[in-house]
Amino acid sequence: MKVVIAGMDGYIGWPLSHYLRWRGHEVEGFDCFLRRQMVRWAGGESVTPLRDWQEVPFCDLRLRRSGSPVQRFLEGADVVIHLAEQPSAPFSMKDMDSAATTANNNVVGTLNLLWAMQEVCPEAHLVKLGSMGEYGTPNVDILEGEAEMVFRGRHDRMIFPRRPGSFYHASKVADTYNVELACRAWGLRATDIMQGVVYGLGYEHQPEGKLGLTRFDVDPIFGTAINRFCAQAVAEVPITPYGKGGQTRGFLPLRDSLQCLGIAIENPPASGEYRTLNQFEQTYSIGELAQQVQVAAWYWGVASEVRHVENPRAEAEAHYYEPDHQRLFDLGYVPTRDMQLELRELIGVLREYRDRIDVEALLPDVHWSGERRRVEYLEA
């Protein structure tokens, strides 16, 4: 199949291009390099060195009008994988301009991609990255896809209710409704992937055969909790869960994310179908992650301390969390990586790049309240 990856320069996009070529697909892609730019705005830098950006063709989904380059990339596509979104919740909560950049890049960019597909490849399968964070942490099981809902004795199948935790997550919710509408109005086929938090940086299937290393951000704007915890362990500063640490999320290693995306592509929905997949392997609380990182660091002889810091986010620190995630398993997903082994590899690599970790910049200063100040350690 001919697969076009929007956002091919990114954390997942670049490893995915290798994985899908290895699976026998013809892969093309593009990027507008906004991620590189934003990480620099945030004062960060990928811990792993980045390859030359010119290896990926330039195309910006925000440049709308018909006849823009995106239409040319989509010609003949069987699958379009849309990874070209701003992925950071704290970035979107930083200030007016960052929130607007998020909505403009994610919501408007997705709309433009939908229209371009409708013009150029209306039969192609859109695989779009949403986020498990669209759902928030409701006090009910999170169903996968449209759910049977009953009100006053009548029922209908409806998109499962969302409660996004940031303007970034809200931009993903907006995408969900736009993509679902495109399926309903135009007969587009789409898989909307509610992905958990992806961790790890290693991937196979590079032309040279050696271990690939994707970009790896540890700054508090673009680094996820696991990334920053590993960087803290390697830098021998305390590992810092936010608040009580009972916040629970779904996680999966990078290689499993690639596997799942491959499965989604090779099992397309019918024309007009809007399909949701909740994509993660297992749930962990932030406190459990900190322990996992401690244990993996100990494998490398590093003793690390866990110190809780105040929570800059507006989120529940202890809550119910039972999201369904059966569909990918039904389609053949087999988890291949144990979290401990993955964290060992991750920490092993980071140790090689220890001098690229900016220890001063590991604690967040963007508060959901709008405040801007470095978080404080909580009393033990």
| Stretch 230-249 residues interacting with a second copy (CB under 8 A) | none
Measured in whole angstroms, how far is the alpha carbon of residue 91 from the centre of its chain? 14
- Our finding on whether 104 is near a second copy (CB under 8 A) is yes
Applying CB under 8 A, the span of 14-22, 23-31, 109-117, 233-241 interacting with a second copy comes to 109-117
Q: How many other C-beta atoms lie within 10 A of the C-beta of residue 39?
A: 21
Measured from the CB of residue 14, what is the shortest distance to a second copy in angstroms? 27
- Maximum Cα interatomic distance, the chain, rounded to a whole number of Å: 62
Q: How far is CA 119 from CA 68, 73, 116, 288, in A?
A: 12, 12, 5, 47
Indicate the residue type of 193. Answer: I
- Our finding on whether 185 is near a second copy (CB under 8 A) is yes
- Our finding on whether 181 is near a second copy (CB under 8 A) is yes
Site map (CB under 8 A) of a second copy, residues 343-372, x = contact: -------------------------xxx--
Task: For residue 194, report the phi and psi dihedrals to the nearest 5 degrees.
Answer: -85, 95
Q: Which of 42, 47, 99, 124 binds a second copy (CB under 8 A)?
A: 99
Indicate the residue type of 131. Answer: S
Measured from the CB of residue 313, what is the shortest distance to a second copy in angstroms? 8
Applying CB under 8 A, the span of 11-19, 103-111, 228-236, 301-309 interacting with a second copy comes to 103-111
Choose among 74, 12, 50: nearest CA to 254: 12
Choose among 199, 197, 198: nearest CA to 345: 199
- Is the Cα torsion angle 242, 246, 247, 249 positive or negative in sign? positive
Q: Which of 11, 14, 19, 167 binds a second copy (CB under 8 A)?
A: 167
Task: For residue 292, report the phi and psi dihedrals to the nearest 5 degrees.
Answer: -55, -40
- Our finding on whether 318 is near a second copy (CB under 8 A) is no
Q: Would you state the structure tokens that stand for residue 32, as one six-digit string?
A: 């507008």
CB-nearer residue toward a second copy: 102 or 214? 102
- Our finding on whether 173 is near a second copy (CB under 8 A) is yes
Residues that bind a second copy (CB under 8 A): 64-66, 93, 95-97, 99-100, 103-104, 107-108, 111-112, 114-116, 118-119, 138-141, 143, 147, 149-152, 154-156, 158-167, 170-171, 173-174, 177-178, 181, 184-186, 314, 320, 368-370
